[in-house]
Structure 1
Amino acid sequence: MIETNSIPFNFSYFALNLLGKQMYTNNWSAISELIANGLDAGATNVKLYIESIDKENSILEILDNGSGMSYEDLSTKYALIGRNRRISNEEFSEKTKGRKGIGKLATLFLSKKYYIVSKKGGDETAWMLDSTNASDSDIPELIRVDINDVSIENKSVWDSFESGTLIKSVGVNLSGFAEGKLDSLKMTLANYYLLNNIGAVIEVAYKTRVKQKIEFSKVSKVIGFKNLYAFFQTSEGIVENKLLNDSVKINADLEQVSNKLRKVKKLNPSDITKINLKGKRKFLTLQGDAKEFNYELTGWIGIHSTINMVEASENTKNDPNNRFIRNTVYKANQLRLYVRDKLAVSDFMPQLNNTQAFSNYIEGEISFDILDNDYLEDISTSNREGLSGNDERITLLIELLKPIVNKLISERVSIGGVVRKEVEKIRQEEKKKLERKEQLAEEKRKQAEENKKIAEQQRKEAELAQKLAEIKQKEAEIARDVAEEESKRKDVLIGSNNSAQQNLLAHELTGVYKNIDSVNKKIVADFKSTDDFERVSEYVVSLKKSSGKLFTIKNQVLKLNTSEVKGRKYINVKSYIKSYLNSLSYKNLEIIIDFSNNPHTSRVHIFDLGMILDNFIINAMDQLADKIIFKFIDEENKLVISSNKPLSSEIVNKDDIFRLGFTTKENGTGVGMYIIKQTCKKFKWEINVVSNTEETSFIIELGDN
């Protein structure tokens, strides 16, 4: 054949453009068609490159390492529109996915200008078709160009192919296409083929910046297998078991039900009644004869546990490469039909006319090659994106699919019913619990009212008893006064029972105590401000002890002539403490004594012991406590003094309160608790402190009785 520098098509531009617009609904179906042409040519590697720096003038390159095209191939095959390649005894005819010979129009759908570079038999040629300024009546033609004029973006890749075809489209409008959509579009592209069957690798690279490195990534399917609740495959092993979950979660209105794992139903053909996935059936051939042909349905179909993205992500979180995706670009829940390993219908579910609620939970990939048999009518549409007509083969396919889909939906409906019953059972139980709670609350309310009545009655009785007790107390006080008047004993300090003298002495002692204590506080403040407190601490302690003893003596003036303290070194500590505390009265502090009648004898100095008790009471009032409890634990020989206030939050180490000079009060000396600790040591007693959020307790171990 004599080669020329131009190869005309056998259609006008008007016809080609019209066909192209009818054939393809979007850029991706057109691109998939060009990739399919490479696969038809026996390619094992097809690469798609998108340069979209200027989105309205993007560049596409589709490179394959197939058989390539010679000048004769271009002139007698490529430029011939409507050529059935399967019946022309061409190479790869068994693998050819189309037979209309119009797939090349995808290039004109993408742009008005494109280049074809082809290698075959050691020859490399470059051609261009430019319809930018062409009229509808013009005849398109491929113009031979210098290969260097093509400016191949991926030249190193192209040079590595011994044979193949490169199609470069320029001025492609990809407005509205964002890089973030690339992954979804790669998955869409992957769905155009049964990748495991085509014996080829498809790769995609996307460039949006001038200095961006070109990196190709393999196109692969992303299917949320682990989100499937029920699964059917025509034969074992079509889908690897590791891709499927043994159990999944089914969404429910209650979290405890939603979190429960449900065993996945794995179905085989034997689980579907009255179904023959393969067999023979008569169909009319292109010549009008009825002839018997073999048919077989292969593939898998599943039903998702949920189509909510958040819930599906929870089921597939352990397998990020196989996740359920549904967005504006990519829709996973479709029943994809393949013929000769290429997508024939993106979603065959509408053909089944299934109106059940869970029909949109179906996803699958099935093959039915009888739909595109060489000897039967071609029922695929011109764009190879669907099927046309009401052919008996479509009817047969629907008959095979319906029982499978119905079984899957039945399984999903069944588990949905189980979930609803579980939710209803829990809600009924919660309702009963609530009713019982309300019943108990009502009973409690009634009991509270009854208790209130009883308490009111008891209060009235207590008031009456208190009045009687007050009368008896007054009688006892009168009797005591008479007895004291009659007593001949003299007070050990005062020498008489003259109450005026006692009150005067108590007043004088109070004044001296307060004066000493005030001076002592000023000394502490002055010396602490100069960091010289340690030097005078010995005198501060002495002064504090003296003022404390004066305070105690003042409190004991009226008690010194009692038998339990008069001239003794060994005393009944419990009796003394009880007697001493009963002589005290504070407006804002309630003093509670919890002692048994069992005596506890210990060798003490009564004024030192009184000073300990006074310090505890003063410390409790400083902490704003309104109650202090003195309790004696007989079996352990322990005295426990508790106030209803916790230690200050400023105290990190509770033992610090016994340290000389430590105080949390603004004008405190930090001596009182130190003296208590030292006095306890003097008596050979052990003292410790414990505190919680409600109270502070000092525990004094008095030793053996």
Structure 2
Amino acid sequence: MGKYKMSVGLSVLDSLGINLYSNAAAVLSELVANAYDADATSVDIEWKQGESVLVRDDGNGMSVDDMNNRFLMVGYRKRDEANEGHVSPRFGRAFMGRKGIGKLSVFSIADVVTVYSTKDGETNAFRIDADDLKARINSGHEYEPQEVTEVPEGYDSQGTVLELTSLRTKRADLTATALRKRLARRFDVLDQTPPTEGGFSIVINGNRLNWLDRQELKSLQFIWEFGDDKIPDSALPHNVARFPLNGVIDEAREWFVRGWFGTAKQPTDLTRDEEAGSLKNIIVLARKRPIQEGIIEKLDFSRVFGNYVTGQIEADFLDDDALEDIATSDRQRLIEDDERVVALRDFLRKAFVSASETWSNHRPKKEVLDVLTRYPKLQEWVDGLAEYQRDSAKAMLGTIASLDFESGSEGHRKDLFRSGILAFARVGLRKATAELDSLSRMTAEDLLALLGRQAEYEAGLWVDILRSRIEAIDQFQNLSDANEKEKVLQRHLFEHLWLLDASWERAAGSQRIEQSLKKVARDDFGLGADEMEERGRIDIRYATTGGKHIIVELKRYNVKPDIDDLRNQGGRYAVALKEVLVKEGNSNPDIEVVFVIGEFPKVVTKTLMTDGEYTNSLLAQINGRIVYYDQLIANALKQYEEYLDASEDARNLDALLDSITAQPGAASSEDGGPADK
């Protein structure tokens, strides 16, 4: 024995084996890679969740010497010229394995591993127990795996069988379906190349992995593909949009990229599959297996587009035998400052920028097709527009449809559709007018078309107002308590004079005139604010309609005012307002005074007239009238309901907006999967 010796510590086994991988899919990837490098045409995985794993391939197999000098040698570098070189002997495959430590990964999920291998008709087998291995390492001795002499039936076929038992439950607690989905994303071996030509298949519990196991493909709306190799149409949704990209990074150095990246309809489509894990990343492959688990976050790309992206990029130049090995031990990351990695990041960033612009232009157009299918009333609305407006309307609907909302917030999108339709009506009217102004000759047909559109747009603008007003009136009507009615009505009535009359609007300069009228009240009554409040609420609003000037005075709901007081008060207001208007140049203004009260006023003066006749005669002197709180609610509700019932245009648009709020019909493009072929 020489003077010096080198030993492998237990920490190496922990770092490069037991703790190197945290999930079963990564461990199985190493065994699949070994089978591929051994010129296997198939690797079969029997996955019994929580019990055992059997990995069987039909590759070259190993002799006892191969087992000792290759498999059992930690750090065996098969790509060295002195060992196996750069490609497999039978099919000339570029080797996936490089570091010679992946075999230790099995101890991440199992404590006992038994290896059976048959080469040239001879079967040899051994078993490794992790506890025994650790004990021998701690004692400073070499470890000798236990020889297995009894070979189970069927284990003596050409190739290698690995049996993993005493599983580590936490890391191996994965369903077979989940394993399929995760392995399908980790290898570019899903083509149908015949075995005789080097084809390679991965089989789990008797079923071969195929494109349908790629869950992220089912969610794609758009896909960008590098190079000539394309994903089969049958693996993609039937209406996916495809765009080609140049995959050349540096032709002189033969740095090329293959593969694809794509966008889902919504970001949540890439996170909803618990079995497949998060799909919102781009895996980088080299030699058909992962070398970087995710690269999106390395691209310094902050556009919204990045939230919708998934993909798989193949860059074999990252694992060139003639260049330095830049993959970390677990093959999940790359040395970031290597020029190859920098070049790939720069290249993908530029591809993302270009794709995001394409996406922004095409996505609304694609979304609108789905929207018009889901909401037939919207299609009817678009069809009813002037031809020159339809593309703009579709663009608006598509933009709203493509907005991303958090889960449970889809009602906001429907609100935007409603608002967008009404806004489009206003913009459309202005555009139509501008076009008509540009005509060299105005015809009756042109004018009628404009008037027809104007009526439609006005109906559209009014319908939401009418609906909200009716809802407000309904709420007022449902208030049975008198004090509640007073509190609610007095709070809203002054700012919403439409409750009194649909045609009333606040006049320009209303606040100034209202202050003038209140000054008249204070001067005439000679009372302070508190005393005025005790006498009865003095609240004044001023409005106009059709040339008429209207004074609105509210009294408390439960106050029964004297009719003589009302007449005198209203007369003062009318005279004061006339003085204000005459100064402004209106020599003969039409003035009306409206009192809003809770019940019929008191009549103290004794006359031969009835109380009603006397009240009417007094109010006629000042062109005044009384409106009761309960009456104005009922009248307003009836007025607006009659308007809706009478207006065909309003009813049509009302039905359209209702259809957006309601649940969409059965027709939907969200079929979520590839077309049946």
With the length of structure 2 as denominator, give the TM-score of the two structures: 0.50
Higher relative contact order (CA 8 A, sep 6+): 2
Higher helix share: 2
With the length of structure 1 as denominator, give the TM-score of the two structures: 0.48
The structure having more radius of gyration, on CA atoms, is 1
